[in-house]
Amino acid sequence: FNEDFCFIMHFVLSPKLKHGEWAYIGVNIGTAMSSVPAATQITTLLRSQNIRHIRLYDADPGMLSALANTGIRVIISVPNEQLLAIGNSNATAAKWVARNVAAHYPSVNITAIAVGSEVLSTLPNAAPLIMPAMRYLQNALVAAALDKYIKISTPHSSSIILDSFPPSQAFFNRSLDPVLVPMLKFLQSTGAPLMLNVYPYYDYMRSNGVIPLDYALFRPLPPNKEAVDANTLLHYTNVFDAVVDAAYFAMAYLNVTNVPVMVTETGWPHKGDASAEPDANNDNADTYNSNLIRHVMNVTGTPKHPGVAVPTFIYELYDEDTRPGTASEKYWGLFDMNGIPAYALHLTGSGVLLANDTTNQTYCVAREGADEKMLQAALDWACGPGKVDCSVLTQGKPCYDPDTVEDHATYAFNAYYHGMGMGSGTCYFSGVAVITTTDPSHGSCVYSGKNGSALLNGTSLAPSSNSTTDSGSWRAAGDVTSFVRIVVTALLLSVVALL
């Protein structure tokens, strides 16, 4: 990673919400690249950025093997070209599940199977195969006793929703009723979500100026600029919410009111043709995705369903340089194919999230729910070999209270993180630390971060002008080794205590 452009992602679950759903952000991983990273490189990137939810466009065995025992929640997919075989044969569907699901679960945390992609809008001739394929796959999951853990759905383009504004008047294309009606009943009976691809960028581009750019980008609007649904008097401040609510109203039109919406694709391109696609740029991509993440993770919900989570997957992890179409089609990624960040996101104040904020407004804190013995071992290391000045954590000093391992560890982790220049890997501590954009300072206890200052004993804030990369690498390797020894010791002691 380019240390001058550190891009640290932290996707975590929010508290459990209505209908048993969780608020989370995931990413899609496409492979239309001239040089596809190795599966182990991809999982290394995911783990280093703490990305906990992904969607694959296939069920590549190498990728699934690399995901084993990572805890990352995975949606796998049946590619469109496999629908014919699976939709015509229960036996083929059973073999597909045996090979791509049962062979990997539970070491690979597969949570759903996406059957095809935008079939109703892009491959209408294959539409009659969707429901047989979904049913056959469901039968195979039931036979393998996996149906309680893995859901089956199919991603739709939002274009199947007609008259999407006002949302209360939205309805699905009636010609699709023979497929959609039984599909919604299937989702209802299995507890699976309606998967929807939502692209405000395209809605904006095709509106010929009718949709304001600010409305597409989640930018704050004055009340007189908000879109109002005259039937419900609900106010809409962004395209995303309007499309999601249009899906809820369209389902209600078919008497389905308890199927949640999952947004399987959304995003904004960071580059395009300068003359034809001027709004495909870094600033807008940053604005859209930063506001989207804040909106989803704050559990804002939609005007129709406030406070109800809308799990959302950003399109996409990598730029795909071999995708056909307009110039922007190649530039939806958060990273290029070498794992270098495409642009910086700004999420200050959003909590433990995608925190690649280059303004130094990031902090390293103890992970909520982390094992206390692991935290204590990490705290001991930070205040010892890590050279953090922990004197402020002693009784009577500003950061003594609250007197908990978690709070003391947070101070020490953050001091070390900033003392090491917020370098890649300096906020990990064997998995018990995470990056946040929310300042953990309290009272007179001020945490490092606002100006990059930190207190380390005998170690400068960052490598001095005459320091070498080699010496820094050696020092970090020694520190990590010491830390690992402390963690292993703590684990051994905990095992002994149990005996």
Are both 110 and 247 inside the same structural domain?
A: yes
Q: Is residue 444 part of a domain?
A: no
Which of 398, 416, 436 represents a domain boundary (last residue)? Answer: 436
Whether 142 shows a pLDDT value over 90: the answer reads yes
Report residue 67: phi and psi, to 5°: -85, -10
What is the reported pLDDT for 470?
32
Which of 335, 355, 376 represents a domain boundary (last residue)? Answer: 335
Are both 197 and 299 inside the same structural domain?
A: yes
What is the reported pLDDT for 9?
38
User: Is the C-alpha dihedral spanning 320, 137, 84, 68 positive or negative?
Assistant: positive
What is the reported pLDDT for 229?
92
What is the reported pLDDT for 385?
86
Lowest mean pLDDT of 133-137, 242-246, 460-464, name the range: 460-464
Reduce the secondary structure of 264-306 to three states and give it as a string. Answer: EEECCCCCCCCCCCCCCCHHHHHHHHHHHHHHHHCCCECCCCE
The model's pTM: 0.72
pLDDT band at 247 (very low <50, low <70, confident <90, very high): very high
pLDDT band at 386 (very low <50, low <70, confident <90, very high): confident
**CA distance linking residue 23 with residue 379, whole number of Å:** 30
Q: Is residue 280 part of a domain?
A: yes
Condensed to tens digits (0 to 9), the pLDDT of residues 187-212 reads 999 999 999 999 999 999 999 889 99
**Cis preceding linkage at 402, omega within 30:** yes
Q: Is residue 125 part of a domain?
A: yes
Whether 57 shows a pLDDT value over 50: the answer reads yes
Are both 394 and 249 inside the same structural domain?
A: no
**CA distance linking residue 111 with residue 63, whole number of Å:** 15
Range of the domain at 372: 363-436
What is the reported pLDDT for 11?
33
Q: Is residue 14 part of a domain?
A: no
The whole-chain average pLDDT of the chain stands at: 83
What is the reported pLDDT for 299?
86
Residues 471-479: contacts with CB under 8 Å, at least 24 apart:
476/420, 476/425, 478/385, 479/381, 479/385, 479/386
pLDDT band at 3 (very low <50, low <70, confident <90, very high): very low
What is the reported pLDDT for 347?
55
What is the reported pLDDT for 346?
61
Q: Is residue 462 part of a domain?
A: no
Whether 480 shows a pLDDT value over 60: the answer reads no
What is the reported pLDDT for 453?
43
Of 268, 279, 354, 263, nearest to 319 (Cα)? 268
Active-site hit among 21, 226, 265, 372: 265
Whether 133 shows a pLDDT value over 50: the answer reads yes
Sequence-distant (6+) residues with CB within 8 A of 393 are 383, 399, 400, 408, 411, 412
Active-site hit among 3, 21, 118, 372: 118
Are both 236 and 368 inside the same structural domain?
A: no
What is the reported pLDDT for 428?
78
What is the CATH classification number for the domain harbouring 186?
Answer: 3.20.20.80
Are both 380 and 256 inside the same structural domain?
A: no
Are both 231 and 379 inside the same structural domain?
A: no
Q: Is residue 79 part of a domain?
A: yes
Contact 184, 256 (CB under 8 A): yes
What value does the mean pLDDT take over residues 211-218? 93
Of residues 430 and 457, more confidently modeled:
430
Active site residue 3: no
Q: Is residue 442 part of a domain?
A: no
Report residue 463: phi and psi, to 5°: -55, 135
Contact 317, 28 (CB under 8 A): yes
Condensed to tens digits (0 to 9), the pLDDT of residues 61-117 reads 999 999 999 999 999 999 999 999 999 999 999 999 999 999 999 999 999 999 999
Are both 58 and 170 inside the same structural domain?
A: yes
Residue with tokens 């182990």: 40
Q: Is residue 475 part of a domain?
A: no
Are both 154 and 191 inside the same structural domain?
A: yes
Are both 268 and 384 inside the same structural domain?
A: no
Q: What is the percentage of the chain residues whose pLDDT exceeds 70?
A: 81
Of residues 473 and 157, more confidently modeled:
157
What is the reported pLDDT for 430?
78
Of residues 369 and 495, more confidently modeled:
369
**CA distance linking residue 112 with residue 24, whole number of Å:** 15
Lowest mean pLDDT of 96-110, 119-133, 457-471, name the range: 457-471
Whether 320 shows a pLDDT value over 90: the answer reads yes
Whether 119 shows a pLDDT value over 60: the answer reads yes
Which of 335, 351, 373 represents a domain boundary (last residue)? Answer: 335
What is the reported pLDDT for 2?
35
Q: Establish how many alpha carbons lie within 13 A of residue 40's alpha carbon, considering only the half-sphere containing its beta carbon.
A: 0
What is the reported pLDDT for 322?
95
Of 495, 399, 402, 377, nearest to 455 (Cα)? 399
| H or E, element range at 162 | strand 161-162
pLDDT band at 172 (very low <50, low <70, confident <90, very high): very high
Active site residue 118: yes
Are both 203 and 327 inside the same structural domain?
A: yes
Which amino acid, 64?
Answer: L
Are both 327 and 189 inside the same structural domain?
A: yes
Out of 10-14, 118-122, 349-353, 480-484, the most confident range is 118-122
Whether 483 shows a pLDDT value over 70: the answer reads no
Q: How many structural domains are present in the chain?
A: 2
Out of 46-60, 183-197, 346-360, 366-380, the most confident range is 183-197
User: Is the C-alpha dihedral spanning 149, 150, 152, 155 positive or negative?
Assistant: positive
3-state secondary structure of 445: strand
Lowest mean pLDDT of 18-32, 38-52, 93-107, 280-294, name the range: 18-32
Are both 119 and 48 inside the same structural domain?
A: yes
